Structure 1
Amino acid sequence: MTRERPSSGGGTNAGRHPAPPRPADDPAVAHERLLLATEGAGVGTYDLDIASGHGYWSPRAFALLGMEPTPDGAARLEAWSERIHEADRARIAAEHAAAAARGGAWQAEYRIVRADDGAVVWLQTFGHFTHTASGHVRSTGVVIDITEKKQAEASLRESESRLRRSQEAGGVGSYEWFMDGSGGTQSEGMLRLIGLPPGRNYTFKEIIAPVLPEDMEDVIATTRAIREGSPRRETHYRVRRSDGEVRWIRDIGQLERDEAGRPYRWVGIVQDITEEKRAEERRELLINELNHRVKNTLAVVQSLAHQTLRSALPLDAARASFEQRLVALATAHDLLTKESWQSIAITELVDGALKALGVAESRVAVAGPDLQMKPKPAVSLSMALHELGTNAMKYGSLSVETGRVAVNWGLEGETFVFSWVERGGPPPPEVRQPGFGTRMIQLALAAELDGSAELRFEADGLTCRVTAPLGNAVEPGRA
């Protein structure tokens, strides 16, 4: 949050006329905004001429390759090709050449060997080839580091492989059903898998009794296909065992015929594939969650860049403010990552935000019950704390030795209450224009919590009070 100082006629700035801000549609302004946003999000950009092999890389693109940026961003296509891992080099060269020839969008995943430390990392490129009127081919796009994603996928594949090997080693049941309706037999392994006590053979009606009603249609369809002479069938269904646990079963069977070619019996095996199904769900969840977080993070960075650079601050000051806000965002993400993005203790969130600003512990009194805050509100609250702390250090109670801040939170019935109270600071200016921090607290934070945020500039300091329904802010069972 920022607070405007009152203007005066004296001081060293008297008589100076600030340069008029550049218009929003100035290409240089647009370029600066894009560069700040992409660099802050860890995204490298490039613009190359294919014929000459020369062009531009952003500083982040150089960093991803482990190379020192050139002063003007000058880049060479050959330098990128040299960094590609030898196992991927031929494939990427062929794909790149084909995409350049046809034009349009291009996407690739590949490994590179960093120039500085020799580390092998995975990169993903989203590019576009444009055939210009002069006959040149222009290649533009972005590149990101996807090493962690690839490692997660490899770990997941290994987990699935171990699961398959363990299933092959055991945990398989078998059965047979005679086509004349005389019944059948089941192994002890099958009975254990579906949750029936061993010791006798069961009728078909008894065998399918544990199947969940919503999966019964597939079982009935398989039975119908068998009677109609289907040579082989595989069915997946869930059973509720006698202990109440629900397990996924893979049922694979085939039809045997007698010497006259008539259907004789149906034999098959069953396997417990619960972990395999869970692995599929985890994989989908991981991919969806990764995509969701990347989109959300880029949206936040875009908003920070837009709100910061639209202010009347000089470019250097705006850039510094934007970088500080990115650090605050990264700090909140780091804290939540340690908790696997489940929830975070508010005490830890407050301490992390204040330490990132360098606020001395003796200047702030923190008090509140042991509450776990939900991830999205936690990020918004962390950003609000950054704005409040920055404002207090520049203009408020933390700008003077005698000033103090009290940070408190708690519950009032079914309402979560958070407060920031400054005391002992200088009087606020008479004329104030709401800055980005004020707008973010009053609008973004309040909207995230579906609550309200009230800021009051009192004689000896700012007071901020945030209220929200308990369920919107705190994890259930942790209040």
Structure 2
Amino acid sequence: MAAVLDNVSDAYFAIDQGWRVVLFNTAAEAFFGVDRESVLGRDFWQLFGRSRETPYARALEAVMAERRSTRLTQPSNMRPGRMVEIRIAPLPDGAIGVSTHDITALSKAEEAALLNQQRLDLAVSAHRMGIFDWESSSASVMWNPEMAALLGLDPGTLGGTVEMLRAMIPDEDLAVLDSTMRNIMASGAATAAYEYRVRRPDGAIRSLEGAARLLYGAEGKVARVVGTNIDITQRKTAETHQRLLLNELNHRVKNTLAIVQAMARQSLRGDGLPQEAWEAFEGRLAALSAAHNVLTERSWESATIAQMVAVATAPYEDGGTRFSADGPSVNLEPKTAVALGLALHELATNASKYGALSTTAGRVAVRWTRSGKHLRLTWTETGGPPVTPPERFGFGGRLLRRGLAEELQGAVQLNFRPEGLVCTMEATLNEA
């Protein structure tokens, strides 16, 4: 036995009925800092000078007397700062064996894990985050208490399946949720994100946002889904309110533009203002209104160049062949989007009167590129009548060359080539 115990990593010694040390392995020599020859045969209590009133001493005496194994976990008296697990067991002939295992690393890991779990629990509780863990093989689900709270249920009443949750989701939301999850699983995606509403037992409708991690089995089928849910009802309400305010603002802006148009018409009636001037003025108001529409649809956060090009050229498109547009996705801040929308309207209007769009064979190509914060957009007309530079620029030309350049923090060049106008705009982007 001594030979066998010399090859184990735990410190091990044995004490006979007279409290004499009768076995002391190599690991015990290292742990206690003494050699076995100086320990064997000596009285345990005199050797280590321990009080017999400590939990350790009482455990030794209890095992010696009652012949039942026990276990202790405590700080080491021999090794300050270390945590040990002590196992005491009865041996034949009335002796007892004592095994001491250093569990400092394990204890610290457990403490760290417990601390992390406490932090996670506090964070989950503070954020009111519902957590679920679904196993496909058994169709069972584990819910945390916060998930039941999100649904207005008492803790532990949600059950071990998804049926109670599904019964609380409106049919239209459930159809979308099922379709979303089927598509995600079919694609083999590792994550999923979704939103749905639930009707609580008290009748309240709440909006939830979910995110999940999908784990696939050997055959590529989903084996497990772990995810979270949070209540976003307040956010949804705020978004709806913001949308209503933006729509109301857009409505008032349009009314204001209509009032401006009516006031201008009434004020200048009889002054001999040419019809062409009226049409240009009204067209600019319409272009401004269209730019506002685009920005309202995106909550006045941004608009893409492609959107502004499409809106400006739509009135002059004929079967989808007059214009071509190509370039990367670029989000413009509202101020830049409005300025670009007005500029594109001026170019399209001029092209319809004097340029490429005044003939059936005319075409317009809009191309843009970006490098960092530098944007370059080119409007190129072909197939129209021969072009000659104007002797002077009207409002539209001044808007393009000066106003637009200032708004875009860049430069605008108009090249009146005989085969068609080329307008090049360069801007510094403050991308939304």
Tell me whether the two structures share a fold, i.e. TM-score over 0.5.
Answer: no
Asked which structure has the greater RCO (Cα within 8 Å, sep 6+), the reply is 1
If the length of structure 2 is used for normalisation, what is the TM-score?
0.39
If the length of structure 1 is used for normalisation, what is the TM-score?
0.35
